[in-house]
């Protein structure tokens, strides 16, 4: 059993508006560049983070994003956590299916974000809202 990743650096950012989503995207890009992620991995994690930040604002009524550099043994990566106190995701299994949408969009959000990262964890309840954690490890 491997040890849990250690947080080497962290910053938190409030998500309340479309402008915050743009700033969050920029922050994740800067952190990924600073970590030395490849252009492809950087693009993947920024795209996933952008989608999840937008979901927190649109569906969760706003929330917070935590950006972390994490280390696990010899591995180093970027972990981004999105938390909101919204109504939660009613049907997680359906929400994780390609093509499913509640917002009239393309329905690629959550399953697409999951495919773009190495680790994806989703917890959601009506009482506490939604928390999604993603990790992109440095190759």
* H-assigned helices in the chain: 18-35, 39-58, 92-95, 109-116
- Is domain 6-137 in CATH 3.30.565.10, yes or no? yes
Q: Residue 3 has which token pair?
A: 């040890």
Number of H helices, E strands in the chain: 4, 5
Residue-wise pLDDT tens digits, 32-57: 999 999 999 999 999 999 999 999 99
Asked if residue 104 has pLDDT above 90, the reply is no
Instruction: Evaluate if residue 2 carries a pLDDT over 90.
Output: no
Domain boundaries, the chain: 6-137
| DSSP, res 126 | T
Distance between CA atoms of 91 and 101, rounded to whole angstroms?
11
Q: Is the pLDDT of residue 1 over 80?
A: no
Q: What is the pLDDT of residue 105?
A: 55
Q: What is the pLDDT of residue 109?
A: 85
Which tokens sit at 39?
């252009």
Average pLDDT of the residues in 70-99 = 91
Name the DSSP class of 108: -
The CA-to-CA distance between both ends of the chain, in Å, stands at 21
Q: In what order do the strands lie in the sheet with 129-137?
A: 6-15, 63-72, 75-84, 129-137, 119-125
Arithmetic mean of pLDDT, 77-90:
95
| CB of 116 closer than 8 Å to CB of 48 | yes
Dist. CA 39–CA 69, nearest whole Å: 17
Residue 88 burial by Cβ neighbours in a 10 Å radius (0-12, 13-18, 19+): middle
| pLDDT band (50, 70, 90) for residue 98 | confident
Mean pLDDT for 4-30 is: 95
């Amino acid at each position: 059993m491997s040890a849990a990743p250690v947080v080497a650096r962290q910053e938190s950012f409030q998500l309340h508006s479309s402008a915050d989503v743009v700033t969050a995207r920029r922050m994740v890009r800067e952190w990924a560049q600073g970590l030395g992620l490849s252009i492809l991995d950087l693009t993947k994690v920024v795209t996933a983070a952008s989608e999840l930040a937008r979901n927190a604002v649109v569906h969760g009524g706003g929330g917070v994003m935590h950006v972390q550099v994490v280390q696990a043994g010899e591995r180093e990566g970027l972990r981004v956590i999105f938390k909101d106190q919204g109504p939660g995701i009613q049907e997680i299994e359906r929400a994780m299916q390609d093509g499913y949408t509640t917002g009239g969009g393309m329905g690629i959000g959550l399953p697409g974000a999951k495919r773009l990262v190495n680790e994806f964890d989703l917890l959601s309840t009506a009482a506490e809202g939604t928390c999604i954690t993603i990790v992109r490890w440095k190759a």
